[in-house]
Amino acid sequence: MTLHQNSATTRSVAVASLKQLTLRYGKVSALDGVNLDIPAGCMAGLIGPDGVGKSSLLALLAGARVMQEGQLEVLGSDMRSARLRRQICPRIAYMPQGLGKNLYPSLSVLENINFFGRLFGHDGEELAKRSAVLTHATGLSPFLSRPVNKLSGGMKQKLGLCCALIHDPDLLILDEPTTGVDPLSRRLFWELIDNIRQERPQMSVLVATAYMEEASHFNWLAMMDAGHILATGTPNELLERTDTHSLEAAFIALLPEKKRRNYQAVDIPPLAPDATSGADFAIEAKDLTMRFGDFTAVDHVNLQIQGGEIFGFVGSNGCGKTTTMKMLTGLLPPSEGQGYLFGQEVNPRDMATRRRVGFMTQSFSLYSELTVVQNLTLHAQLYHVPIDLIPGRVTETLKQFDLETVCDNLPDALPLGHRQRLSLAVAMIHRPETLILDEPTSGVDPVARDAFWNLLAKLSRRDGVTIFISTHFMNEAERCDRIALMHAGRILATDSPAKLCSAQHVDSLEDAFVNYLTAAGAGDQQKGTQTSADTQPEPPLSQLTCQGDSSLYGWRRHFNPRRMGSYARRETLELVRDPLRLTLALLGSVILMFVMGYGITFDVEDLTFAVLDQDQTTLSRDYAMSISGSPYFTEQRPITSYADLDQRMRTGALSLALEIPPGFARDIARGRQVEIGAWIDGAMPTRAETVRGYVSGMHAHWLGIKAREAGYTGAAGDSTLAGLLTIETRFRYNPGVKSVVAMVPAVIPLLLMLIPAMLAALSVVREKELGSIINFYVTPTTRLEFLLGKQLPYIVLSALSFLLLTALAVTVFGVAIKGSFVALATAALLYVSAATAIGLLISSFMRSQIAAIFGTAVITILPAVNFSGMMDPVSSLEGMGKVIGELYPTTHFLTISRGTYSKALEFADLTASFTPLLIATPILLGLAVILLKKQAR
């Protein structure tokens, strides 16, 4: 409660104050000495196009990103201090950019909400009550069990809001919450925010947006450009100051002179009527339909686009625009219907048609590792622009698109507007007759956007290029010759913007679209639940008492089992929803156990050998027989000459070659010294040693027999080997000396290292690569809670895998556990904890999943296979390998595994191996905690 009294005092000042705040990514600076006080208790907006530093600013405010220079106070706390950050982060809610980027796609609506709620210390009945109120208010109540990846954009955005509001924040930070959502959902969203603000007037809301028009009803605005604040004030103040009528115009007026200089209002001459007559349609769709499973993404779409026309495709994200465009370019084969390009049916194999079309995808798919010139050149090459024309064409294009000054830069280092121009340049390099542009202007500043449209106008009217463009900006849609309004896979209407407005008797295209949407029943969902709200009143949001989160004090501040449990529960759900991964993990271990248990064997058998018999007597044949008679060797056809011997040894066809000299039998009879030559293939040293052992043994054996037969005993007497003493060899623990018995207890530790480590490593790096790691950055979750929460499910999975492998070992392989099963199981649990901790440690410093896969493979396979005593005992290793082997957990678990399986050992006998296993996990996890970053860099 004290916290709220605090906030009451800060409210009158500012919810956040920034002094000389600077943030750089490498050489590019995103924020350049920003000074700003954001007023509390109102709706504050940051406006400006993407890439001007809005998102960076918000990420700093939410504590998601590491501060570099300058000062920042949020809710009266210095954001530099990790301690203060932890204390105030439960009062901040952050909804990052990108629809549902911080949500978990395979989890349901309710599971997502509960995950966030538990991170902030809510649970049980209270959590259920809170989520009921929020889902009710947002109209999500009927969809609680629907997984996020099946939600529409508007619903994802509402769910994001629920997750942000679940802990009753004092500051709500929304980063571009409405980008890519249809106009109707956008309206409903702002109504929802207004309702919430009425319920909770003390809450401050800070929104970043690129839609200037929707910022007009905010209480306070800060306009940003290139890391600077251009102006602040209420919308009216800004309009008055610039003497303009729209915020977009005000923004352009406030831009520095240098940027404004090239600004030209968009002016598109009307399409000449004769330009379209006669010719075939450039693009045509007939009943084009696409189904993914039981979901219809595109539903019988019909389109006819004439040559030279600018045709707009308007609708929210996920309504099927992109899918339709993909079908028309042959990227996706339609489930039904046909697409035609230049009057011919779309055929993905028809390279000639592809060369007549230029395509620009949503994400400006440029190769970020190639420079501007390299990108242009590569595309020119791929489109088979004649080789001698390429340099000229590239220079010309650079000039046309005003990219000469940046021609050697990498695309990522360019401002968004430049990148967009480059994308278009790339799509145009081969001079196509038709351009298909999928949302080319999202997130580009108004000046650049208008410049882009001027370019399009020129292409269309001067060069007669047909342009098929999709957008969710209404003011762009108005510039098209004709547009199609799309919603939920269907085209609602197609006509020129003016005619659409007059048909609906409204002034703006946005209103017209909203009318069409309502007519199509798009608003029914929301409306329906809102009416039921009237009949069945729920407690308003303000009535929810906000208890201070007890977990922020005392020991729970550093380790709260509930937060850890929330992560563990979520990870488990994700794992269970990915049955393929689950099966691979369990079945994979089983398959590998079979392959290696039976496959790796040290019983050296069936070695190939052949004899170069230059004596050809009974005795020489008898000698060869003594070797071929053993199970270890199989005799090959005799060697005919030294050349033959050499040739066959080189191919590896012979492991052993024997050379019996001429006069062998005769010399022995005369008691003369004879020498048999044995050539062993030393290429594989282990095998060579075994061969050497066998041959010497059999040689001695043969001599003994011959000696006795020939009555040498009399003469040589005591000197023969036989008869002096007996050496009784007892192979202990594995009397049959069977490889399976030795291998199975060794394979289990190997498998329990590699697979758990890989799973754990990827689970964290995946969050980093896909962006949901942000939830760890901005919630009170500590590093240990996060790591342990991620680790637990994999420990359980690996323990299951252990039980499965043990059951197999006992039943299928017939390798019984002679010692204590409890000891083995305890050790296995400790061991899989260590294995998953190794994975977590790797993940703490890896950024990409590829590197994590390769790194985990390199770091686990070699030590586990070679240095842990599976093949050679650790005591016999040398150098670094020995050191690694002695430290590596596999070594110790291997000793325990062999001890309990083969040697009938109990706990007490194995203490020496338990100690390292016990301390391994805390050390590894400790290192991971130190290396893992709590904020983005």
Partner 1 sequence: MSPENIFHLGLKELRSLTRDPIMLVLIAYAFSISIYTAATAIPETLNQSTIAIVDEDRSPLSARISSAFYPPHFVPPALINRAEMDARMDAGLDIFALNIPPNFQSDLLSNSQPTLQLNVDATRMSQAFTGSGHIQTIVNDEVRAFVQRYRDVNTLPVDLNLRMRFNPQLDKTWFGSVMQIINHITMLSIVLTGAALIREREHGTIEHLLVMPVTPFEIMGAKVWSMALVVLVASALSLKLVVEGLLSVPIQGSILLFLSGTFLHLFATTSMGIFLGTMARSMPQLGLLLMLVLLPLQLLSGASTPRESMPELVQLTMLAAPNTHFVALSQAVLYRNAGLGVVWPQLLAIALIGAVLFALALSRFRKTIATMA
> What's the rounded Cα separation, in Å, for the pair 438 and 150?
22
Supply the DSSP string of 640-651, one letter for each residue. Answer: -SHHHHHHHHHH
| Residue 868 binding partner 1, by CB under 8 A | no
Distance of closest approach, residue 374 Cβ to partner 1, in angstroms: 7
| Residue 137 binding partner 1, by CB under 8 A | no
> What's the rounded Cα separation, in Å, for the pair 175 and 45?
10
Per CB under 8 A, the list member of 745, 749, 780, 916 interacting with partner 1 is 745
Chain positions 689 to 708 lying near partner 1, rule: CB under 8 A, are 689-690, 692-697, 699, 703
> What's the rounded Cα separation, in Å, for the pair 225 and 772?
28
Distance of closest approach, residue 257 Cβ to partner 1, in angstroms: 37
| Residue 110 binding partner 1, by CB under 8 A | no
Residue recorded with tokens 């003369």: 672
Return the closest-CA partner of residue 255 out of 404, 450, 57.
450
Residue recorded with tokens 């100690």: 915
Closest to partner 1 by CB, 246 vs 381, is 381
Check if the beta carbon of residue 549 is closer than 8 Å to that of residue 120.
yes
Distance of closest approach, residue 320 Cβ to partner 1, in angstroms: 15
Closest to partner 1 by CB, 194 vs 906, is 906
| Residue 107 binding partner 1, by CB under 8 A | no
Chain positions 654 to 673 lying near partner 1, rule: CB under 8 A, are 655, 668, 671-673
Distance of closest approach, residue 584 Cβ to partner 1, in angstroms: 4
Distance of closest approach, residue 39 Cβ to partner 1, in angstroms: 40
| Residue 34 binding partner 1, by CB under 8 A | no
| Residue 255 binding partner 1, by CB under 8 A | no
| Residue 919 binding partner 1, by CB under 8 A | no
| Residue 421 binding partner 1, by CB under 8 A | no
Three-state DSSP class for residue 107: coil
Distance of closest approach, residue 306 Cβ to partner 1, in angstroms: 22
**Type of residue found at 267:** D
Per CB under 8 A, the list member of 193, 275, 688, 829 interacting with partner 1 is 688
Return the closest-CA partner of residue 52 out of 33, 25, 29, 73.
29
Distance of closest approach, residue 293 Cβ to partner 1, in angstroms: 11
| Residue 385 binding partner 1, by CB under 8 A | no
> What's the rounded Cα separation, in Å, for the pair 263 and 447?
6
Which of these ranges, 336-344, 442-450, 480-488, 676-684, lies near partner 1 under the rule CB under 8 A?
676-684
16-25 and 69-74 strand pairing: antiparallel
* Cα 779-782-786 angle, rounded to 5 deg: 90
Residue recorded with tokens 């060794």: 746
671: left (phi over 0), alpha (psi -120 to 50) or beta: left
Supply the DSSP string of 607-643, one letter for each residue. Answer: EEEEEEESS-SHHHHHHHHHHHTSTTEEE-SPP-SHH
Closest to partner 1 by CB, 530 vs 617, is 617
Per CB under 8 A, the list member of 26, 269, 293, 879 interacting with partner 1 is 879
| Residue 796 binding partner 1, by CB under 8 A | no
Per CB under 8 A, the list member of 172, 414, 787, 905 interacting with partner 1 is 905
Chain positions 157 to 186 lying near partner 1, rule: CB under 8 A, are none
Distance of closest approach, residue 843 Cβ to partner 1, in angstroms: 12
Chain positions 746 to 785 lying near partner 1, rule: CB under 8 A, are 750, 754-755, 758-759, 761-763, 766, 769
Chain positions 483 to 502 lying near partner 1, rule: CB under 8 A, are none
Closest to partner 1 by CB, 561 vs 599, is 599
Per CB under 8 A, the list member of 343, 464, 629, 652 interacting with partner 1 is 652
> What's the rounded Cα separation, in Å, for the pair 136 and 133?
5
> What's the rounded Cα separation, in Å, for the pair 590 and 847?
31
Per CB under 8 A, the list member of 27, 245, 637, 732 interacting with partner 1 is 732
Distance of closest approach, residue 632 Cβ to partner 1, in angstroms: 10
> What's the rounded Cα separation, in Å, for the pair 774 and 102?
7
Distance of closest approach, residue 625 Cβ to partner 1, in angstroms: 15
Distance of closest approach, residue 443 Cβ to partner 1, in angstroms: 16
94: left (phi over 0), alpha (psi -120 to 50) or beta: beta
| Residue 279 binding partner 1, by CB under 8 A | no
Contacts of 560 (CB under 8 A, 6+ apart): 121, 551, 780, 782, 785
> What's the rounded Cα separation, in Å, for the pair 425 and 569?
48
Alpha-carbon distances of 431 from 269, 344, 381, rounded to whole Å? 22, 20, 13
Q: What is the total count of residues that contact partner 1 (CB under 8 A)?
A: 158
| Residue 914 binding partner 1, by CB under 8 A | no
**Type of residue found at 273:** P
Per CB under 8 A, the list member of 67, 132, 370, 407 interacting with partner 1 is 370
Per CB under 8 A, the list member of 256, 521, 539, 723 interacting with partner 1 is 723
Per CB under 8 A, the list member of 8, 13, 519, 737 interacting with partner 1 is 737
Return the closest-CA partner of residue 902 out of 826, 782, 816, 780.
816
Tokens of 899: 């001890």
Per CB under 8 A, the list member of 279, 816, 871, 919 interacting with partner 1 is 871
Task: Say how many CA atoms lie within 13 Å of 749 toward its Cβ.
Answer: 33
Chain positions 580 to 609 lying near partner 1, rule: CB under 8 A, are 580-581, 584-585, 588, 591-592, 595-596, 598-608
Closest to partner 1 by CB, 39 vs 756, is 756
Check if the beta carbon of residue 902 is closer than 8 Å to that of residue 908.
no
Measured in degrees and rounded to the nearest 5, phi and psi for residue 413 equal: -85, 0
| Residue 294 binding partner 1, by CB under 8 A | no
Supply the DSSP string of 198-214, one letter for each residue. Answer: HH-TT-EEEEEES-GGG
Which of these ranges, 25-33, 41-49, 505-513, 732-740, lies near partner 1 under the rule CB under 8 A?
732-740
| Residue 231 binding partner 1, by CB under 8 A | no
Q: Is the dihedral of CA 563, 564, 566, 567 positive or negative?
A: positive
Distance of closest approach, residue 158 Cβ to partner 1, in angstroms: 26
Neighbour tally for 507: CB within 10 Å: 10
Alpha-carbon distances of 463 from 307, 428, 699, rounded to whole Å? 11, 12, 93
Check if the beta carbon of residue 380 is closer than 8 Å to that of residue 370.
no
| Residue 413 binding partner 1, by CB under 8 A | no
| Residue 261 binding partner 1, by CB under 8 A | no
Closest to partner 1 by CB, 684 vs 816, is 684
Site string for partner 1, 822-851 (x = CB under 8 A): ------------------------xxxxxx
Chain positions 328 to 367 lying near partner 1, rule: CB under 8 A, are 329-333, 349, 351-352, 354-355, 357, 359, 361-363, 365, 367
Closest to partner 1 by CB, 490 vs 882, is 882
> What's the rounded Cα separation, in Å, for the pair 557 and 559?
6
Tokens of 881: 């390998």
Closest to partner 1 by CB, 128 vs 592, is 592
Per CB under 8 A, the list member of 261, 637, 727, 937 interacting with partner 1 is 727
Q: Is the dihedral of CA 122, 126, 132, 138 positive or negative?
A: negative
Measured in degrees and rounded to the nearest 5, phi and psi for residue 526 equal: -65, -45
Check if the beta carbon of residue 849 is closer than 8 Å to that of residue 765.
yes
Site string for partner 1, 546-585 (x = CB under 8 A): --------------------------------x-xx--xx
| Residue 28 binding partner 1, by CB under 8 A | no
Chain positions 303 to 332 lying near partner 1, rule: CB under 8 A, are 326, 329-332
Alpha-carbon distances of 281 from 144, 303, 304, 432, rounded to whole Å? 46, 10, 6, 15
| Residue 814 binding partner 1, by CB under 8 A | no
